[in-house]
Structure 1
Amino acid sequence: MTDLSWAQVSARRLARHGLSARTSPESPPGAEGVADVVSAMCGAHAQVASAAELSIGLRVPGATRALVRQALWTDRTLVKTRGPRGTVHLLAAADLPMWIGALTAIPPPSWEQSRHLLTPEQTGQVLAAMGDALAEAELTTAELTEEIVARTGPWAGERVMEAFQDLWPRWMAAMATASRAGVICFGPTRGRAITYTSPTRWLPGFAPMAGHAALTDLARRYLFAYGPATPAQFAKWLAAPVRWATSLFDSIDLAEVTVEGAQAWVAANDTDFPTDPPSGLRLLPYFDAYAVGCHPRERLYPGVAAERALARGQAGNFPVLLVDGVVSGVWHQRRSGRAIHVTVEPLQALDPGRRRELEDEVDRVGQILEGRAALTIGTVSVGPHA
């Protein structure tokens, strides 16, 4: 059995996430290149839109937030929907059949409000009404509520769903189910209002993959980006039962390895690892896929990094300074017009070479976000993102 060092694992993950040594593009990046990167990282968390744009831009040499927006809203090579863990993600549109096939095959979480607020028959009615209303439209929540109520009945509009110290219409309890089923995705914002539309506008003729085939494909992609990994780590990434994930791993052709003695798995045809150590410095934004998806946490967030950069053990709530593949600090940005004030709190002293790398990275953050970034090294006083 192959025994790997953490350095080998870290170096491979950095390379596959596009976070290794940066190179200048030979030609301007395009929307297809953006989609390829998002596909390779198994989606970009997009609850914070600017964080998703930065997360992707850091992995595409020469990219800016404008290119990410072009891929999403103009070229439609990205789609904004709910992905792993039911959280808002940007996914490669070409991968949507796999994602929907896989997400509908995962055991649904017991805490979903649709189980308590809607009967199975009502859920089916809401999904059908959504699909009809959104086929050729981009609707706000209020507009979609009106359309669903008109197609189902007043019960769908009853404000009974508790959310953020407010009450939402009953039909919204089916939102997670609708997203998993590929009935609904996000449209472009209208002013400050969120809109929803149909994924078929991104992929005409869209049809989900069969469940087990989709899950097999997704597991292999996950292991490509985040492996070696265990079924428990895959289950955590998806918010799925560990026993279910173990059964899925048992059904796939995988190779067992150890990482400094700890058991893990990779795809059977993907057992090559680099010999060069991980290197480079990166500023990863909120909920960056690398910071959230890589395990074990004690390796990625060693020592004091776990205390400073995790929120009750949860990753992603702080933007992190990544040095040679491990979390080595936190950071925060504050924007005023085109000026972007970046404060970085390293957890150890930076020598002159690292300081230059950090200054270059801050410049890159400014370029991606289409502003002028300035660096301050000091304490980050902002708490974790919810």
Structure 2
Amino acid sequence: MRSMSVAERRARVGVRHRLATAERADDVNEIVRSLVVLHATDPATVFLSIAARSRVLEPGHVEKALYEDRTLLRMLAMRRTMFVAPLELVPALQGSCADALAHKQRKTYGRLIDQAGVIEGDISSWLAEVEAETHQALLTAGAATGAQLSKLVPRLRTQIDAAPGKSYSKPTSITTWILVVLGAEGRIVRGRPNGSWSSSQYTWAPIESWLPAGIPELSAEQARVELVRKWLYAFGPAPVSDIKWWTGWTLGEVRKTLAQIDTVEVDLEGVTGLVLADDVDPEPAPDPWVALLPALDPTPMGWQARDWYLGSHGPALFDRNGNVGPTVWSDGRIVGGWAQRPDGEIVWRLLEDIGTEAEARIEAEAARMTTWYGEVRPIPRFRTPVERELTS
């Protein structure tokens, strides 16, 4: 069994995740493909993840790819998490994750509507009618907010109490439910938000405005194979447990998928990992590098087993639900955390000694990111101990 050291894995991170200085790119789509997808639960993450891996890109370049060229698309996928994906990967994400999510959410919402007793007749047929009417309204309007759609489609204003008898009980309209199902099903997409690039007040658009013929269909089996193969190139080598965690699939689904991919086992310093069979050659170590990665960046969120790049820093840099905050990286490992203060200053805290030369590189990177933010002051969706301390 071939051995792959921690040093080799860290070199791959620097090169394949475009964090090493020489590997940075000035093509938004190229950067996203390098990471398979970008986390998008926090809208700012998308922009800051690209900023960390580019040389001259600005927020406007990212907005152009998202909303004008439309080569990127926001969608719910693995673990019911929001991602930004290259358009060519959307069928794989749809077939491997989103279709099952749409089915699950429609079933859940249908049960809640049925329990509320506000609709007579077949709930499934009623929901299908409302979904079709909402999709058609978007085709006609081109783009609209949820509030605007609820005026165009009166049945979206149907009130449901999802927790009757509870202290937090509060009737709410089904607008969000319908939009979630249509989005997961790939019939509508989140478009340009109202406000700055860090805003999450999205408008909605029909999928036809991104893909005129809709999302090409892939079987769940084909879709899983394509997705795992891309993940292994970007994030491998890794244990099977990391693949299971990242995808959110059952262990059986992961093993069935891996059986169709040519992989080999490697020794990850005492743990068995997998790598693509044609990707076992060592990755030459890049020149020394540093990076300031945002909260929920796909690199630190790419693996479940994190000791080889995180060390003992987890409690300071992750929240209680496992969401990573802003992290400082040096040569393939996390060495500290950082934050943006209300006045725009970028501040950081090192959690280990990395030497004066690396610290100087961090200072230069912080200055670059200060310029990149401009007047925007996003607060991370999930706050972590170090980020809170640095901004207090």
Could you say whether these structures have the same fold, taking a TM-score greater than 0.5 normalized by the shorter chain as the test?
yes
The runs of 5 or more residues in structure 1 that have no matched partner are 374-378
Q: Structure 1 residues 23, 325: CA separation in 2 closer, same or farther (over 3 Å shift)?
A: closer
- State the identity as a percent: 23
What does the per-residue CA deviation read over 1:211-262, in whole Å, with 9 as the maximum and x for residues that have no partner?
A: 2222211111111111112333222213332332222222332222221121
| 2:161 corresponds to 1:160 | yes
Alpha-carbon deviation of 1:115?
A: 5.8
> In 2, Cα distance between the equivalents of 1:241 and 1:367?
44
- Written as runs of structure 1 = structure 2, the 5 A alignment for 1:180-191 is 180-190=184-194
Aligned AA (2:388): V
Q: Structure 1 residues 173, 240: CA separation in 2 closer, same or farther (over 3 Å shift)?
A: farther
Q: Structure 1 residues 381, 197: CA separation in 2 closer, same or farther (over 3 Å shift)?
A: closer
Aligned to 2:63: 69
Aligned to 1:382: 388
Q: Structure 1 residues 166, 93: CA separation in 2 closer, same or farther (over 3 Å shift)?
A: farther
CA contact (8 A) 1:228 1:265 kept: yes
> In 2, Cα distance between the equivalents of 1:134 and 1:310?
39
The runs of 5 or more residues in structure 2 that have no matched partner are 114-122, 378-384
> In 2, Cα distance between the equivalents of 1:294 and 1:381?
22
Q: Structure 1 residues 277, 313: CA separation in 2 closer, same or farther (over 3 Å shift)?
A: farther
> In 1, Cα distance between the equivalents of 2:51 and 2:360?
20
SS class of match (1:240): coil
- Written as runs of structure 1 = structure 2, the 5 A alignment for 1:279-298 is 279-298=288-307
Aligned AA (1:47): T
> In 1, Cα distance between the equivalents of 2:333 and 2:366?
18
SS class of match (2:36): coil
Report how many residues are paired: 363
| 2:327 corresponds to 1:333 | no
| 2:9 corresponds to 1:40 | no
> In 2, Cα distance between the equivalents of 1:64 and 1:275?
30
Q: Structure 1 residues 105, 79: CA separation in 2 closer, same or farther (over 3 Å shift)?
A: closer
Aligned AA (1:349): D
Alpha-carbon deviation of 1:4?
A: 0.7
Compare the two structures and name the one with the higher strand fraction: 1
CA contact (8 A) 1:8 1:278 kept: no
> In 1, Cα distance between the equivalents of 2:162 and 2:175?
9
Alpha-carbon deviation of 1:167?
A: 5.0
| 2:225 corresponds to 1:216 | yes
Alpha-carbon deviation of 1:122?
A: 4.3
Among 111, 117, 135, the residue aligned to 2:112:
117
Mean alpha-carbon deviation: is it higher for 293-302 or for 168-177?
168-177
What does the per-residue CA deviation read over 1:124-178, in whole Å, with 9 as the maximum and x for residues that have no partner?
A: 33432332222252111112233344xxx47x6224357x996542353344432
Aligned to 1:134: 138
Aligned to 1:376: none
Alpha-carbon deviation of 1:364?
A: 2.2
Aligned CA RMSD, in angstroms, stands at 3.0
> In 2, Cα distance between the equivalents of 1:273 and 1:15?
12
